[in-house]
Amino acid sequence: VTLPPQAKKKGPRYTPVSRRHERPSAILWLVRNHSELKDAQIMRLVGTTKTTIASVRDRTHWNASTLTPMDPVTLGLCSQIELDFEVQRAAKEKPIDAAYGGATLLPASETTARKEPEFEPSEKQRDDLNVDAVFAKLKGIGGGKKQDDAD
């Protein structure tokens, strides 16, 4: 699988000096959110070295205490298309285990099963829900004048 012709880059990409301090934050974000990515893929996305990736991963980076995970796309270090491409490639190479114990959806029989009400309404609540009782209360509130005018 190759990138479309317009997305290919020639040689290593240049990162301005003002943005170079943001690379470790992007590496930390990639390591936390996309652990399936290999070091070579992170190197391509962010434009860094294996030693920097290893030091961020081990928390031995000189600035590790102040690093906050930041999306490399937001920082402008790579495009969303490039990130999606690398994540898809990593997902194909590393299939998800069938024994994965993560959260799953409940079966439809459980979610659509009719449940008995958990509480019984009191007599006052039943009267409030009684249609005849509601209309009787409305007639008593202000319906008397209009009936007198009609007679």
Per-residue pLDDT at 9 exceeds 60: no
In a domain, 110, yes or no: no
Predicted local distance difference test score (pLDDT) of residue 95: 65
In a domain, 113, yes or no: no
Give the mean pLDDT of the chain.
Answer: 78
**Is the distance from CB of 71 to CB of 29 less than 8 angstroms?**
yes
Does one domain contain both 85 and 128?
A: no
Does one domain contain both 85 and 145?
A: no
**Placement of tokens 């959260």 in the chain:** 103
Q: What tokens does 29 get?
A: 């974000």
Per-residue pLDDT at 39 exceeds 90: yes
Categorize the per-residue pLDDT at 128 as very low, low, confident or very high, splitting at 50, 70 and 90.
low
Predicted local distance difference test score (pLDDT) of residue 41: 93
In a domain, 79, yes or no: yes
Domain carrying residue 48: 5-93
Predicted local distance difference test score (pLDDT) of residue 57: 93
- Long-range contacts of range 59-64, CB-CB < 8 Å, 24 or more positions apart? 61/24, 63/21, 63/24, 64/24
Does one domain contain both 78 and 136?
A: no
Per-residue pLDDT at 51 exceeds 70: yes
Q: Of residues 64 and 113, which shows the higher confidence score?
A: 64
In a domain, 48, yes or no: yes
pLDDT in tens, 73-95: 999 889 999 999 999 999 888 76
Does one domain contain both 42 and 77?
A: yes
Per-residue pLDDT at 101 exceeds 60: no
Q: Count up the domains in the chain and report the number.
A: 2
